[in-house]
Amino acid sequence: MKVHFCDQAKEQLKAIDEQFPELEGKAAEIHEEYVREYTEQHCPDARRANVRKISHESGTSQEEPEHATVSFKGPRSVDPKGRHVYMDFWARFLGSKKD
């Protein structure tokens, strides 16, 4: 399955990489890991995941936990609507720094 970052997500990745140079460009890699894990469990027939917005809090609800907004493409069994892929971006990044 291919993970694609839409233009808005690419801009957000660029901004976060500029704001936090210690990420060393790993923001996209971390998002891709979460999206692949979600896809395996919830959307195994998907052929492509479109990350529309990178990790953020709230959104449609003020209480919404941290998530990326992702839509999926594939056979008819795959719902193309945007989904929230929940993640703890900074915990995953800090965990990767321990290795």
Please give the Cα distance from 41 to 32 (Å, whole number): 14
Give the Å distances, CA to CA, from 85 to 27, 33, 98.
15, 11, 24
Q: Give tens-digit pLDDT for 21-41.
A: 998 889 999 999 999 999 999
Q: Give tens-digit pLDDT for 70-85.
A: 999 998 878 888 899 9
For the chain, how many helices (H) and strands (E)? 3, 4
Output the pTM of the full model.
0.87
Please give the Cα distance from 98 to 56 (Å, whole number): 24
